Chains A and B, each alone.
Chain A
Amino acid sequence: LLFQIDLGRQPEVSRREPVSAEEWAKNMDSEGRILDVDYIKRSIFKGGLCHTLRKEAWKFLLGYFPWHSTKEERANLQKRKTDEYFRMKLQWKSVSEEQEKRNSRLRDYRSLIEKDVNRTDRTNKFYEGEDNPGLILLHDILMTYCMYDFDLGYVQGMSDLLSPVLYVMENEVDAFWCFVSYMDQMHQNFEEQMQGMKTQLIQLSTLLRLLDSGFCSYLESQDSGYLYFCFRWLLIRFKREFSFQDILRLWEVMWTELPCQNFHLLLCCAILESEKQQIMDKHYGFNEILKHINELSMKIDVEYILCKAEAISMQMMNCKELPQAVSEILGIESSSVTPDSDPGEDESGAVLSCPSSLYQSISTPVIAANGTRDSTQQMSEAHSLTPA
């Protein structure tokens, strides 16, 4: 498209306080079924979870527990999955030294895992110091994942994805299966030839072009149009860009799969939009852009960027002439594709293809969208471990 599409102004967005244990419990029937899944997802999208709730709620968000299951069904599932886990764990545990000598792939996986476990989040209480049981769990889960998916095995970056999940689960088996679910989403990033990464970078540039074609042209003029400087953001879902506590928040919001597909790409757009001024004013070139983006690590305000990304999503969903490519990336049906279907209905140009009630306002208290930190968040650092 050669003409500039008017996206309109960015709407004001506010966030709410994290979902509390009470709120969660209230939304469950006597057999432990979640009553209103959409409501819960929406609430998590808008405010995240209080820390005590994460251990349970993440299992649903990641898809380890089916949303409509009963407590009993989940207990049975866990039992089955525990057996399955230990069966796979035993497989690598029982490989003798002699056998391993003849299995170079297993040897390579093991050696990489050992190296990376020793340098993953070591300043976090859960992984710090020598002989921390957290390190053994991290190692064993990654090794068992190699048996679960031997073709992929272990690729650097995967320990970053597991570490927060294990920290929250505090349990080897649960952490493993949640990690498996997370890897289902992230698998392509780590495959040979990095096809998943390439696809995402192209999608990101499609979105960015719609949002700000001027900035895109600038980046192209600096030989940076491929957006390689976003590589790390995408590869491990911002894990290195935010503090550990902020990552827990960011990930649970992303896992709701709201308000549209590929919300993480809109997060990229939000960050880039915030940095655009400086990059263009100072006329940064290829190297300086990469350096600047790398150095944003730990300096981005998570609540601010979530608001901004949500605002962008609303802008796009309200856009009447959303390009087909963008609609496909975000998984929204553009009404411009089906013109004049129901005249005079509502003003929004695009509708979500998933449940349509996602954007209903939520009648719970709201905190300002001015980037203030969530002070209610529980940060329990001391954990007791349950190594299996």
Chain B
Amino acid sequence: VAQKAMPGASLEEIHPTYIYKVVLLGSTSVGKSSLAYRYVKNDFRESLPTVGCSFFTQKLVLETATVNFEIWDTAGQEKYQSVCHLYYRGAHAALLIYDIANKETLNRAKLWLRELEKEFLPDEIVIALVGNKVDLAAEREVTTEEGEEFAKTKGLLFMETSAKSNHHVNEIFMAVALELLKREQEKASTLSRKSTVDLEESGTRTRCC
């Protein structure tokens, strides 16, 4: 979609650049790293369990703005939670990822949500609930409706994806970007166009890899 970058289309005033930090949270083996890898490199591979944290960047050039995503991929095991904590500080968005073929992982995503609610005010962070591995339809344990319903009650974005078959991966990041930009606009208009959006200069940044 809009990931096909249009070089040179950045007059800052009419086409601002935003840097957004997105953290990927969820149980072990739900596909956090795979989603990041698919989105950034458009490829799928078996990846080693993440220890600590990995970091990806992706540039998204939209009509109205350029979005530089800084994607923080975290370790899934609960034991590493104290470490993950260090990484989601200052996040603009979070993807809470679960595996549609493993009900327990949705519960854990709900726990992550509670963690985030402690840390952030609702308008400080965009949160998306992501049911990954729709390619495993035969083993599905969580219905689409169940995920959708939960997301709705909590005011989260929602999508089902597959990093493996490349289903809705770009779309979920796009949805997050649009939501962030929408909030940016709302903020700007409530500040009566005082234009305090962080136009952190990043013109020299290039697309990752």
Chain A residues in the interface with B (C-beta under 8 A) = 112, 115-116, 118-122, 155-157, 159-160, 190, 192-194, 197, 228, 231-232, 235-236, 240, 287, 290-291, 294
Contact = CB atoms under 8 A, between A and B. Distances in A.
B118 interface: no
B49 A232 contact: no
A156 B46 contact: no
Contact of B53 (A112, A118, A159, A231): A231
Given A156-B77, A236-B51, A194 B83 contact: yes
Contacts, number: 64
A313 B58 CA distance: 40
A197 B86 CA distance: 14
A182 to B, nearest CB: 16
B162 interface: no
B51 A194 contact: no
A287 B55 contact: yes
B66 to A, nearest CB: 17
Nearest to A231: B52
B53 A290 contact: yes
- Secondary structure at the A interface, as helix, strand, loop or mixed, is helix
Given A115-B49, A160-B48, A290-B53, A231 B83 contact: yes
B28 interface: yes
Those 7 A-B pairs whose CB atoms lie nearest each other, nearest first: A231-B52, A115-B29, A232-B52, A291-B55, A156-B49, A156-B77, A157-B51
Contacts of B50: 156
Q: Which of B47, B52, B86 has the most CB of A within 10 A?
A: B52
B192 interface: no
A133 to B, nearest CB: 19
A79 to B, nearest CB: 35
Q: How large is the interface on B (under 10, 10 to 19, 20 to 34, 35 or more residues)?
A: 20 to 34
Given A112-B28, A156-B77, A291 B83 contact: no
A156 B83 contact: no
A119 B34 CA distance: 12
A232 B70 CA distance: 19
Contact of B79 (A122, A192, A240, A291): A192
Interface of B: 21, 28-29, 46-57, 70, 75-77, 79-80, 82-83, 86
Given A160-B48, A290-B55, 16 more contacts: A116-B49, A118-B46, A120-B48, A155-B77, A156-B49, A156-B75, A190-B79, A193-B82, A194-B80, A228-B83, A231-B51, A231-B53, A231-B83, A235-B51, A240-B48, A291-B56
Given A115-B29, A194-B83, A228-B86, A235 B77 contact: no
A287 B80 contact: no
B77 A112 contact: yes
B108 to A, nearest CB: 12
Contacts of A232: 51-52
Contact of A294 (B21, B29, B54): B54
Give the most central of B21, B49, B50, B77: most A CB within 10 Å.
B49
13 contacts: A119-B46, A120-B48, A156-B51, A156-B80, A157-B51, A159-B49, A160-B48, A194-B80, A194-B83, A228-B86, A231-B52, A231-B53, A294-B54
A229 B50 CA distance: 14
- Which interface residue of B21, B54, B57 has the most chain A CB atoms within 10 A? B54
A194 B49 contact: no
Given A119-B48, A122-B46, A231-B52, A291 B57 contact: yes
A340 B21 CA distance: 57
Contacts of A291: 55-57
B51 A119 contact: no
B39 to A, nearest CB: 16
A197 B79 CA distance: 13
B49 A119 contact: yes
